[in-house]
Chain A
Amino acid sequence: MLLFYCLTDTVALQQLSCYAFYYLLIIYFNIDFMKKSLYLLVSVSVLCILIFLASCTKDKTEPNPVEGMTKVAEGYATGAAAKVEVYTKESSLTTGYTKFYIALYDSISGKRIDDAHIHLNPMMDMGMMQHSAPFENPASTEAENHLFPCSVTFIMSSMGGTWTLDIEVHNHVNDKEGSITLPLTVAEPASSRQKSFTAVHNGAKYFISLISPAATTSKVGINDMEIAIYKKASMMSWPADSSLSVILTPEMPTMGHGSPNNVNPVHVGNGHYKGKVNFTMTGLWRLNLDFMSGTSVADTTQYFDVTF
């Protein structure tokens, strides 16, 4: 028993072996003191279990939908009588595909607005010129868990100018429309998640964003891979692209090896491409991406680095 005690490192096993040891002592020596202390031990354990069980059946108040998210901007959409709050799951805004979660409140009663039509318009003002960026409006007028998910792909940081996000709100509760322009500060992340290239086959400029894997969610094993591809049609038009095919080749530049059984991202809708990337160990991984248009090469120079 003592042997087991020494060899096991889990507390539970040690506790168990402790009980068993006590029990044996009681059986063999019928020691009153031991008996009492065993009862004490058992009753303390039972109490612990009860407390644990009690903590599991907690109060049933609704969880906060923006728990753990960062509020990046807020303001009033004049005309729609709505307060607009913009959240992300990141701690700050960086270049690349950025998922936003918009919460709307009635500007007077403060009640949540769960039915609204929202339209985005991101704008970069570089002084000499202005351009927009790829974005995705909320897919539905119904809020999901009181939030309207949408996205903006920041193709550059605020170093080169000023980012603003226009949010037009059609409040279906009061049937009023209004808008707000929110200034946003976008930094360059440590490892770029946003790249662009001029395609060899047609000379068009494509912007690619790495959506996943992120450093924080990557693991040794199979990871979901998602990228978004947008084509620059004009300064103000950045449509999603579904015409390219993608070849994924991950590698560890430090070691010079890759990984097996990866799945090339394929188009799943709205310029999003999904596949699988396999990491065989932690560390710095380079996701090399080749883009093809049919059988013609669009680009073979792009990669994203993921370190975890």
Chain B
Amino acid sequence: MKKVHPAVVSAQAFQVADLRPVERLFDDAEGKDRRDKALSRYPEKKGALLPMLAYAQERNGWISPENMEEIAEALDLTPAYVRSVATFYTMYAKRPVGKYWIQVCTCISCHVNRGEEVFEAFLEHTGTRAGEVSEDGKWTVIEAECLGACGFATAVQVNDQYFENVTPETVPEVLAKLEKGGSEE
């Protein structure tokens, strides 16, 4: 079981799915611990909703309707309410995505630093269309709005990592690094 300090309710890097079956969230000790610690940090149960949605994604790679129901029950909310919140936020995957979820920033500062070309290069090198999961389950490439790394354009986020100053020419290097399990820093 991962040891988590009570102050840390929801910042574990999420792992994106290998399209494995969805695990239930709160049946085991780890899930119960994460739930109870999150609940202890907010004066209302509802406050723990975002941390629990993030936990579902961390655990299963996406947030399934079953997980939303579990969260609703744990926090005394309706599944419909949980869904209404989950669908508001773009980072919550409401369906399974590739093992590497590649988000290419094409907002203004990246746009003037070839962001769209970087995006096209990722699509080309992964052989996917925007938003779809590649056949081997590895890649999903989407355009993202500002990632907050404007001075390091073009910025690309892959799961929990940032890749910065990416150009269309360095896209194959980024993909190779990911395949080797390496990181930017």
* A and B: bona fide binding partners: no
Q: A residues engaging B (CB < 8 A)?
A: none
Q: B residues engaging A (CB < 8 A)?
A: none
